[in-house]
């Protein structure tokens, strides 16, 4: 079936069998299903009209992929994806980062983007999903940085000890797995590394607060919240409906996932 047929079938199942959800919950989920479909349609059209090239932000000009292995493709192509981090990424680069450990690299948005942005830097990208590793390798080759992007499956906490303090950035997005890896008592080498992590608070653990407390003694910490998107849209998108323009910047998030930008103290 086409994507549209899958979407219609999913909406029909939801409406016919809400499985105990309230009307408000059904409406929210139905809206999400429809919006994800529309986001994919718009991303495909952008790729046809403008090509698979990131249009704005720090990774502007990067050749990209036709499908993201996780999350929304459209805001990545537009250049608004996680725009809250843009000034922090640029500031970290100015501070002399030479090595990046990207844990949870997906198809390589940050691994390859940072390799392009930091000439000479070595990027160590990790993902447990074989499809993600293949996509990341392909993306690195397409952008001419495969010689500086190494790709692995599983990163272990004891591996932090192999990296240079002060010159290494740990970039992490692993859907709650940060609880086990970002532990400076278990892995003391973390106390000397720069860290940018997307945290995933949930009903059981407030991981943002836990990680902040763990690193309070060793790092200066900035908490970054989700904010409005101001990246210019492609010209053809400015002629679409307002809801399409909103969907253009939507990153498919279910709930807030704050980031922590952590620098080792002097």
Phi, psi of 166, rounded to the nearest 5 degrees: 85, -25
- State the chain's maximal CA–CA distance in angstroms: 60
pLDDT grade for 254, boundaries at 50, 70 and 90? confident
Do 252 and 71 meet the contact criterion of CB atoms below 8 Å apart? yes
Identify the pLDDT of residue 40.
94
Read off the tokens for 26: 């059904």
Identify the pLDDT of residue 110.
98
- Residue 138, Cα to own-chain centre: how many angstroms? 18
* Strand partners of residue 170: 101, 195
- Average pLDDT of every residue of the chain: 94
Burial class (CB in 10 A: 0-12, 13-18, 19+), 20: exposed
Identify the pLDDT of residue 144.
97
pLDDT (tens digit per residue) in 205-250: 899 999 999 999 999 999 999 988 878 899 999 999 999 999 999 9
Q: What residues contact 83, with CB distance under 8 A and at least 6 apart?
A: 57, 227, 229, 230, 231
pLDDT grade for 3, boundaries at 50, 70 and 90? low
pLDDT grade for 260, boundaries at 50, 70 and 90? very high
More confident of the two residues 5 and 147: 147
* Strand partners of residue 126: 103, 152
Residue 10 has pLDDT above 90, yes or no: no
Mean pLDDT of 102-117: 97
Q: Which residue has the tokens 């990680």?
A: 211
More confident of the two residues 56 and 255: 56
pLDDT (tens digit per residue) in 35-94: 999 999 999 999 999 999 999 999 999 999 999 998 999 999 999 999 999 999 999 999
Q: Which residue has the tokens 């797995």?
A: 177
Q: Which residue has the tokens 């429809």?
A: 34
Identify the pLDDT of residue 4.
78
Rounded CA separation 217/214 (Å): 8
Residue 143 has pLDDT above 50, yes or no: yes
Read off the tokens for 247: 């969907």
Rounded CA separation 33/36 (Å): 5
Identify the pLDDT of residue 5.
83
Q: Which residue has the tokens 């690195």?
A: 140
Identify the pLDDT of residue 1.
45
Residue 203 has pLDDT above 80, yes or no: no
Share of the chain above pLDDT 70, in %: 98
Residue 2 has pLDDT above 70, yes or no: no
SS3 for the chain is CCHHHHHHHHHHHHHHCCCCCCHHHHHHHHHHHHHHHHHHHHHHHHHHHHCCECCCCCCCCCECCCCCCCCCCHHHHHCCCCHHHHHHHHHHHHCCCCEEEEECCCCCHHHHHHHHHCCCCEEEEECCCHHHHHHHHHHHHHCCCCCCEEEECCCCHHHHHHCCCCCEEEEECCCCCHHHHCCCCCCHHHHHCEEEEECCCCCCCCHHHHHHHHHCCCEEEEEECCCCCCCCCCHHHHHCCHHHHHHHHCCCCCCCCCEEEEEECC
Identify the pLDDT of residue 228.
86
Identify the pLDDT of residue 204.
74
* Strand partners of residue 150: 124
Mean pLDDT of 127-156: 97
């Amino acid at each position: 079936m086409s994507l549209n047929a899958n979407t219609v079938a999913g909406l029909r199942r939801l409406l016919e069998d809400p499985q105990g959800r309230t009307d408000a919950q059904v409406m929210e989920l139905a809206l999400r299903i429809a919006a994800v479909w529309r986001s994919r349609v718009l991303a495909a059209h952008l790729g046809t009209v403008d090509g698979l090239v990131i249009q704005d932000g720090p990774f502007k000009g990067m050749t990209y992929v036709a499908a993201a292995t996780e999350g929304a493709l459209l805001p990545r192509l537009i250049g608004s994806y996680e725009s809250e981090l843009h000034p922090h990424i640029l500031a970290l680069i100015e501070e002399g980062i030479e090595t990046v450990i990207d844990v949870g690299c997906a198809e390589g948005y940050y691994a390859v983007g940072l390799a392009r942005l930091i000439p000479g830097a070595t990027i160590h990208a990790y993902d447990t999903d074989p499809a993600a590793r293949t996509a990341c390798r392909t993306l690195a080759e397409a952008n001419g940085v495969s010689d500086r992007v190494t790709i692995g499956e599983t990163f272990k906490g004891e591996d932090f000890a192999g990296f240079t303090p002060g010159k290494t950035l740990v970039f992490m997005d692993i859907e709650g797995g940060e609880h086990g890896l970002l532990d400076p008592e278990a892995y003391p080498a973390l106390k000397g590394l720069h860290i940018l992590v997307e945290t995933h608070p949930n009903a059981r653990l407030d991981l943002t607060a836990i990680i902040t407390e763990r690193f309070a003694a060793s790092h200066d910490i900035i908490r970054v919240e989700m904010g409005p998107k101001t990246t210019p849209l492609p010209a053809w998108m400015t002629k679409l409906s307002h809801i399409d323009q909103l969907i253009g910047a939507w990153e498919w998030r279910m709930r807030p996932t704050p980031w922590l930008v952590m620098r080792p103290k002097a």
